Amino acid sequence: MGKSQPDERRGRGRPRASLACSACRIRKTKCDFLKSNDGNCSYCRSAGVECVNKHRDHRKKNDQTDAILRLTSRLESIESALIQNTTGDTESNHLDNQYLSTAPIVEDPFLASSTMLSNMWDTMPIALELGDCQVPGGDESSHEAISAPDDHAQNGSYEAEIMDESGTDVFWRFGRKRFPRVALSMGVVDTAADKPSPRSLEAFYGPTSMIRHLSMYGSTTSDDCELDSPGPMEIDIDSEGIRRSILISFWKFNESWTSIVDSDMFQRYKALGIPSEYYSRFLEDAMLACGSRHSSSAIIRSTGKLFAHRAKAALIHQLQTPTIASIQGVLLLSAFEGTSGHPSFGWTLCGVAFRLLFDLGIHQDPAYLLQNRGFSTVDLSLIQTLFLTMFCIDTVYAWFMGRPRSAPVPMAERVLANKTSGTTRDLTAITLIAWSELCIEAARAQDIINSGQELDERAMEQLSLIKHSLQQWYEALPPELAWNDINIPALSPSAYGLHAEYCGIQIALHTLSSESDATASTTPQGSNIVTLPGFTKQQSRKLACKNAIQIAQLAQTLDHVHGSEQIITALLCNIFSAGMALIQCWAPDMDPKTTSGPVKEKTALAVLFRTLEDVSRHYPLANRISLALAQQLVDQPLGN
């Protein structure tokens, strides 16, 4: 059969595929830039991005294919060199910036649309190769950045090769990272942000700050580097099976005190397959990053960083066109970064989430939202839950960092009053309400302590009233959340965290310092300690120690009942607070000639260290807390 004749009605009246702009090439859609007067196609004009086209080059498709093949070969050789030279050159510390950094999304006009970004992620799965990880505490040289190969380090030739004529990163244009297969190890992915810097050591921390003790240790570990790390293995993080498995883990361990995402609403809008108020690929990646932490598989846990990396790449677009899903994603990303060893970044993202909430105006009066904004009662309930969740997380962050909060207390009180009057009394709602009530009192206390002013008589009276209110609240907890020292109940993980947070606040109120700066949080018991009205220094020290012991008991019970993977992130902060209180409380009573000491205190401290060890594979921040507590013991009789 002879060849069919070309149809004159087809093809002649439209641009050839090789003449399409780069954005339409990626989307694989028809491009009409040749018909336009300004040189921009319809899609780029509507998306508000630059239309990059090279109509003079009819061999563009073949040229790009050849370029990708050359780059792939070059990248494989670089990867091989990285794996073989894990110690690196201590004089060369530019690997992260020159080889592992990814082009910011705002600099690439083809990634300005979240829909386009999602399409690329759908069609271009990324394979992640997990190499052997080094054990923390090994040769210091293994933690240095690896030097670039000499033939690529000269004159920026490597950077020049990965840019096309328009200055666009080729791999970002095709929806792939520069390293399609990256061997993850301490020497390769440990970035400068993971190490202490002069700026981080001088950052502001208020008197309630606990993170100040940790800043000197940097990020000593990574969720990619574990003792039980498997051998090299490739995993497609865009596999539906893997994503479904991680999402199941996310819903299973979704803490009821932080109900950031509603499962029904998320699944309903995800089924539509398009970004909306309650679904976006950005939100899903943030959920996958958090959900991966709880997996029993080291392979799955190691994917958390990659999911978080992709979410951060889309962050700028989310800030420019915010939705409720944007707020949820930023808040989840904040939680992931904070427990991964970057609490300052996590605290910053939490503040960004509040700015987005205020920008959307969903903090306004419920009646106004119903009448003028078109919200339904279901929407309103979800918004109120999200606001209270954000307020609780922000309060815990601010207490841990010793920094200002983002939301006024009266605003939280108003939302809580509306939520209490119209909510069903299920366990999740009861837990969130209890957390909100506790955090409102905690916010009042930290506003006084972290105000930068000395704690005068008036301030101490106010703190005394707050302590009294906290005591009344604690005694009036509903049966589902109440704690009994005699008959220890099997509570939910969020309820254990609730009691630990209360004990942590009590410790702070009984270890106040007359100093107004961050040194107050590092000063042991001494003459500068001030007490609440009606308490002596001895009584305050014993009460702080008592609450620290209870935190240890709560952590141990939670571990026994639910397992270490269900220890909530808020408990980590209070474990550190309890450990510091125990060390400072028993030190004055210790006999320097012996290693004996109060049995309960010693046992409680051992429990805290064991708990931190158990959760370190899920939360790398736990390793930094362990190091900080161990450092405090160096000069103590139990230092050996």
Which tens digits make up the pLDDT trace of 334-356? 999 988 888 889 999 999 999 99
Alpha-carbon distances, residue 10 vs 14, 20, 331, 567 (angstroms) = 8, 17, 51, 64
Tens digit of pLDDT for each residue in 258-285?
689 999 999 999 999 888 999 999 999 9
Question: Given this model, what pLDDT does residue 213 score?
Answer: 59
Confidence of residue 372 (pLDDT cuts 50, 70, 90): confident
Contacts of 2 (CB under 8 A, 6+ apart): none
The helix or strand, by DSSP H or E, that contains position 539, with its residue range, turns out to be: helix 537-562
Q: Say yes or no to pLDDT of 444 above 70.
A: yes
How large is the average pLDDT for residues 587-605?
A: 65
The helix or strand, by DSSP H or E, that contains position 234, with its residue range, turns out to be: strand 234-236
The helix or strand, by DSSP H or E, that contains position 129, with its residue range, turns out to be: strand 127-129
How large is the average pLDDT for residues 310-320?
A: 94
Q: How many CA atoms lie within 13 A of 437 on its CB side?
A: 20
More confident residue, 372 or 433: 433
Confidence of residue 109 (pLDDT cuts 50, 70, 90): very low
Q: Of the given ranges (346-350, 418-422, 585-589), which has the lowest mean pLDDT?
A: 585-589
Q: Say yes or no to pLDDT of 83 above 60.
A: yes
Of 577, 608, 595, 585, give the one whose Cα is nearest residue 639.
595
Helical spans, DSSP H, in 180-223? 186-189, 198-201
Q: Is 163 helix (H, G, I), strand (E, B) or coil?
A: strand
Return the ∠ at Cα 449 (arms to 446 and 450), rounded to 5°. 80
More confident residue, 427 or 178: 427
Q: Say yes or no to pLDDT of 142 above 50.
A: no
Q: Of the given ranges (27-41, 155-169, 370-384), which has the lowest mean pLDDT?
A: 155-169
**Ranges of each domain in the chain:** 13-58, 60-190+223-339, 348-639
pLDDT above 90 as % of the chain: 32
Q: Of the given ranges (188-197, 352-361, 536-545, 565-574), which has the lowest mean pLDDT?
A: 188-197
Q: State the Cα–Cα distance between residues 596 and 637, nearest whole angstrom.
A: 8
Q: Say yes or no to pLDDT of 404 above 70.
A: yes
Contact status, residue 531 vs residue 540, Cβ threshold 8 Å: yes
Q: What is the DSSP letter of 375?
A: -
More confident residue, 539 or 153: 539
Question: Given this model, what pLDDT does residue 225 score?
Answer: 40
More confident residue, 228 or 341: 341
Q: Say yes or no to pLDDT of 103 above 80.
A: no
How large is the average pLDDT for residues 544-569?
A: 90
Confidence of residue 135 (pLDDT cuts 50, 70, 90): very low
Alpha-carbon distances, residue 226 vs 299, 420, 563 (angstroms) = 10, 44, 19
Q: How many C-beta atoms surround the C-beta of residue 64 within 10 A?
A: 17
Tokens 């846990």 identify what position? Answer: 301
Question: Given this model, what pLDDT does residue 322 score?
Answer: 94
Residue 185, amino acid: S
Confidence of residue 321 (pLDDT cuts 50, 70, 90): very high
Q: How many C-beta atoms surround the C-beta of residue 192 within 10 A?
A: 12
Angle between helices 599-615 and 537-562 (to 10 degrees): 40
How large is the average pLDDT for residues 429-448?
A: 94
Confidence of residue 44 (pLDDT cuts 50, 70, 90): confident
How large is the average pLDDT for residues 148-175?
A: 37
Question: Given this model, what pLDDT does residue 630 score?
Answer: 87
More confident residue, 186 or 423: 423
Question: Given this model, what pLDDT does residue 451 score?
Answer: 85
Confidence of residue 27 (pLDDT cuts 50, 70, 90): confident
Domain 13-58 classified CATH 4.10.240?
yes
What integer best gives the mean pLDDT of the chain?
A: 73
Paired tokens of 325: 């899903």
Paired tokens of 271: 């089924």
How large is the average pLDDT for residues 434-443?
A: 96
Chain centroid to CA 345: how far? 8
How large is the average pLDDT for residues 408-416?
A: 93
Helical spans, DSSP H, in 53-201? 60-84, 95, 114-123, 150-153, 157-161, 170-173, 186-189, 198-201
Q: State the Cα–Cα distance between residues 572 and 444, nearest whole angstrom.
A: 22
Highest mean pLDDT among 75-79, 96-100, 167-171, 571-575: 571-575
Q: Say yes or no to pLDDT of 315 above 90.
A: yes
More confident residue, 571 or 111: 571
Q: Say yes or no to pLDDT of 529 above 80.
A: no
Q: Say yes or no to pLDDT of 463 above 90.
A: yes
Q: What are phi and psi of 513, to 5 degrees?
A: -120, 150
Q: How many C-beta atoms surround the C-beta of residue 427 within 10 A?
A: 15
Q: State the Cα–Cα distance between residues 431 and 479, nearest whole angstrom.
A: 11
Q: Say yes or no to pLDDT of 7 above 80.
A: no
Contacts of 174 (CB under 8 A, 6+ apart): 26, 68, 120, 124
Q: State the Cα–Cα distance between residues 147 and 151, nearest whole angstrom.
A: 11
Tokens 């641009």 identify what position? Answer: 15
How large is the average pLDDT for residues 182-189?
A: 32
More confident residue, 81 or 190: 81
